Amino acid sequence: MQAHYAGAVPIDLLKQEQDRIADQIGDIQHRIEAHHDEYASARANLDDSLGLLANIVSVYERADDANRRLCNQAFFHRIFIEEDGDVRVEYERPFGSLCDTEEQMNALNWSAEAKKKGEAQTGQRVETLVEGLNLSHLG
């Protein structure tokens, strides 16, 4: 504005710049809204997945054979039973990440550090769920 008042910037150029800036702000707002929707959807999926994992033992125990098969297909890509009886699994998404002990420890460490810095608030329920997730040992 000072440049315009001083006669260095004509009003039509000032208007063009204002329009350009307004368009860019609108684009940024649309991108933020789109990312917020993606975040909300991912967060809902994560909450649902954690809730299912937290209750999987009781779900599996109460299920008939057909539903147990569906559970197995939902959670596991492959199940390997070694000759010595050891079990190794490949999980379906997103359960591979949720049941990976290294990723669980990273999440718990990140959460603890973020809490110390006041950057994040996580509930005890999430930490308890993360600490107990490993489907291959649930039966």
**pLDDT tens digit sequence for 84-133:** 988 888 888 888 778 777 887 887 788 788 788 776 655 554 444 544 45
Average pLDDT, the chain: 79
The size of the chain, in residues, is 139
Question: What local confidence, expressed as pLDDT, does residue 138 receive?
Answer: 47
In a domain, 122, yes or no: no
Q: Would you say residue 24 has pLDDT above 90?
A: yes
In a domain, 10, yes or no: yes
Domains in the chain, number: 1
In a domain, 80, yes or no: no
pTM confidence score = 0.49
Question: What local confidence, expressed as pLDDT, does residue 127 receive?
Answer: 46
Q: What share of the chain is helix, strand, coil (3-state, %, to 5)?
A: 70, 10, 20
Note every long-range contact of 58-66, with CB atoms under 8 Å and residues 24 or more positions apart, other chains counting.
Answer: 60/138, 60/139
Question: What local confidence, expressed as pLDDT, does residue 112 receive?
Answer: 81
In a domain, 3, yes or no: yes
DSSP state of 92: P
In a domain, 114, yes or no: no
> Range of 8's domain?
1-54
In a domain, 123, yes or no: no
In a domain, 63, yes or no: no
In a domain, 67, yes or no: no
